[in-house]
């Protein structure tokens, strides 16, 4: 073997590159293998998140929201204008530049921290070895005292809607439309479907979201889910639940979709573009030699314990290839924990406090248990809510939609869950994450001074409302 490393990370997405950097910071000789290339054959770092996921989608969400505000909301602020237009090419160019900046930044961080980048495809072999296959077909065997698998995930494809070059696309294709479709279909009312539907709906597309499940946002607190659906439908998204897609047919420049509703009635609907956003699956194909000893389930997820150890000593797996939510921040934290444990530190991760966010507008975010989960456990609990319509800061920003909901244990007052739909929900929920990490009660937050006027005051009022102490809304009963 020409190269021997303490740590070899396969995959340079959020889980992999963070793990590699942390391992190098801890004095471990570290290499990171990445197979992605740009159009010039150079390695592209950052994985799905930076290249065709979190970053480009949030860039387009931000651009499209500013377009909506310019067309619809500026007049509310007394700003008069005319002739607002969208330049899709310029919007896409901005997105690409941001992606290029961030992915290039990872290469700089690798260099600064002493991480060796190996460009090619990695395969785990028996006996602490990794096979590296480069783009030119050459093969090198790399020694790895510890191997971390962080190869991420890819969009799920479904038989009724085989992808085409430009009419039926997955989330990657939906980030590269050259013009705004007049009629856009989205299969899947999850995070990806709602975000991409929002982007193109804001820009003028007639968006129909087809969701096979009868419920909306099943993972979210259902009070928040109902409020979110109401807001999104008011914005123009046509969300059809219980709509199971059974077939599609390309007819010229259109695609005809057949779906069956909850009553069993068949419907046909025609779109200019169709986005398939029904979830993601782990990227673990051709990743292990037959005798590597790595155990996986029938869906391709790698079996790991609470500390991300696989069935083979010295081999770990993190991020989208293992159990838990497919979230960049979950994978990144796992990467840090694994690197630190390899270095001999007693690092651990709290899987109960991984925040979830949907970057629609307003945003939807939550942490901890939903009210439905608490009920199912039979726990006695209290609830406090506060609407952004009563927030001075939200109204000043013309953002008075949505609410904050706090759930606490009735006996101990410990916060069990915080659920938000509203402005800056992604940032507001992080305050709750910190509080819950320190096992805070609602009283702890109630006694905390929040700046005025801020959106954060909505969280403060919601915890006050848990015990009917809210100041800026009427409580359920009067207190002396």
**Position 77 pLDDT exceeds 70:** yes
At 480, the pLDDT band (50, 70, 90 cuts) reads very low
Give CA torsion, residues 343, 347, 353, 356, to 10 deg: -10
- Return d(Cα 310, Cα 316) in angstroms, integer: 5
Q: In this predicted structure, what is the pLDDT of residue 479?
A: 43
Which pLDDT value is given to residue 21? 98
Would you place residue 300 in the very low, low, confident or very high pLDDT band (cuts 50, 70, 90)? very high
What pLDDT does residue 101 have?
96
The half-sphere exposure of 179 on its side-chain side, counting CA atoms within 13 A, is 5
Question: What pLDDT does 2 receive?
Answer: 63
Task: Judge contact between 467 and 475, C-beta under 8 A.
Answer: no
Q: Under DSSP, is residue 395 helix (H, G, I), strand (E, B) or coil? A: helix
Domain ranges in the chain with CATH number 3.30.390.30: 362-466
Is the preceding peptide bond at 446 cis, omega within 30 degrees of 0?
no
Cis peptide, bond prior to residue 453, ω within 30 of zero: yes
Q: Where in the chain is the domain with CATH 3.50.50.60?
A: 3-155+281-351, 168-278
Residue 316 has pLDDT above 80, yes or no: yes
Instruction: Determine the Cα angle at 147 with ends 143 and 148, to 5°.
Output: 150
Give the model confidence (pLDDT) of 395-424 as tens digits.
999 999 999 999 999 999 999 999 999 999
The pTM of the whole model exceeds 0.85: yes
DSSP state for residue 432 in the 8-state scheme: H
Percent of the chain with pLDDT over 90: 96
Closest CA to 274 of 253, 294, 301, 291: 253
| pLDDT at residue 165 in the model | 86
If you average pLDDT over every residue of the chain, what do you get? Answer: 96
Which CATH architecture fits 3-155+281-351? 3-Layer(bba) Sandwich (3.50)
Query: Known catalytic residues?
Result: 452
pLDDT of residue 477: 66
Biggest CA–CA distance in the chain, Å, is 79
Q: Express each pLDDT in 228-270 by its tens digit.
A: 999 999 999 999 999 999 999 999 999 999 999 999 999 999 9
Q: Could you read off the pLDDT of 413-452 as tens digits, one per residue?
A: 999 999 999 999 999 999 999 999 999 999 999 999 999 9
The highest-level CATH class for domain 362-466 is: alpha beta
* HEC assignment per residue over 56-125: HHHHHHHHHHHHHHHHHHHHHHCCCCCCCCCCHHHHHHHHHHHHHHHHHHHHHHHHHHCCEEEECEEEEE
**Which pLDDT does position 476 carry in this prediction?**
78
The per-residue pLDDT for 433 is: 98
Mean pLDDT, residues 261-287 = 97
pLDDT tens-digit readout, 15-51: 999 999 999 999 999 999 999 998 888 999 999 999 9
CATH class assigned to 168-278? alpha beta
Query: Residue 39's pLDDT is what?
Result: 84
């Amino acid at each position: 073997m020409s190269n021997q490393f303490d740590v070899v990370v396969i995959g340079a997405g959020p889980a992999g590159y963070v793990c590699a950097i942390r391992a190098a910071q801890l004095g471990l000789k570290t290499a990171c293998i990445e197979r992605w290339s740009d159009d010039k054959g150079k390695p592209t770092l950052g994985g799905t998140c930076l290249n065709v996921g979190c970053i480009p989608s949030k860039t387009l969400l931000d651009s499209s929201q500013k377009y909506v505000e310019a067309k619809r909301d500026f007049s509310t602020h007394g700003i008069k204008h005319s002739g607002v237009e969208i330049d899709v090419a310029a919007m896409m160019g901005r997105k690409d530049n941001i992606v290029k900046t961030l992915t290039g930044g990872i290469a700089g961080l690798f260099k600064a921290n002493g991480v060796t980048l190996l460009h090619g495809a990695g395969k785990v072999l028996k006996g602490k070895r990794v096979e590296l296959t480069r783009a030119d077909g050459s093969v090198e065997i790399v020694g790895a005292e510890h191997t971390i698998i962080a190869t991420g995930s890819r969009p799920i494809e479904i038989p009724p809607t085989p992808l085409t070059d430009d009419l039926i696309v997955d989330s990657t294709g939906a980030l590269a439309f050259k013009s705004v479709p007049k009629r856009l279909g989205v299969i899947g009312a999850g995070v990806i479907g709602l975000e991409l539907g929002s982007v193109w709906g804001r820009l003028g597309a007639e968006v129909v979201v087809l969701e096979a499940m009868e419920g909306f946002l099943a993972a979210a607190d259902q009070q928040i889910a109902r409020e979110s659906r109401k807001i999104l439908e008011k914005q123009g998204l046509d969300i059809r639940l219980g709509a199971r897609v059974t077939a599609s047919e390309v007819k010229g420049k259109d695609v005809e979709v057949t779906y069956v509703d909850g009553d069993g009635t068949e419907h046909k609907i025609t779109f200019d573009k169709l986005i398939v956003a029904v979830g993601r699956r782990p990227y673990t194909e051709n990743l292990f030699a037959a005798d590597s000893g790595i155990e996986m389930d029938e869906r391709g997820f790698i079996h790991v314990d609470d500390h991300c150890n696989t069935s083979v000593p010295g081999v770990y797996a993190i991020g989208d290839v293992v159990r838990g939510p497919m979230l960049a921040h979950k994978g990144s934290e796992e990467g840090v924990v694994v690197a630190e444990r390899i270095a001999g530190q007693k690092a651990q991760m709290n899987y109960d406090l991984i925040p979830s966010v949907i970057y629609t507008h307003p945003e939807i975010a939550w942490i901890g248990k939903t009210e439905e989960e608490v009920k199912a456990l039979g726990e006695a609990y209290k609830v406090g809510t506060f609407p952004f319509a009563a927030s001075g800061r939200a109204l000043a920003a013309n953002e008075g939609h949505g609410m904050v909901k706090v759930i606490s244990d009735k006996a101990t007052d410990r916060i069990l869950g915080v659920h938000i739909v509203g402005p800056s929900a992604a940032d507001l929920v992080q305050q709750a994450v910190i509080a819950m990490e320190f096992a805070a009660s609602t009283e702890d937050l109630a006694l905390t001074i929040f700046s005025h006027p801020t959106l954060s005051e909505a969280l403060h009022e919601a915890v006050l409302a848990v015990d009917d102490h809210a100041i800026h809304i009427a409580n359920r009963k009067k207190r002396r």
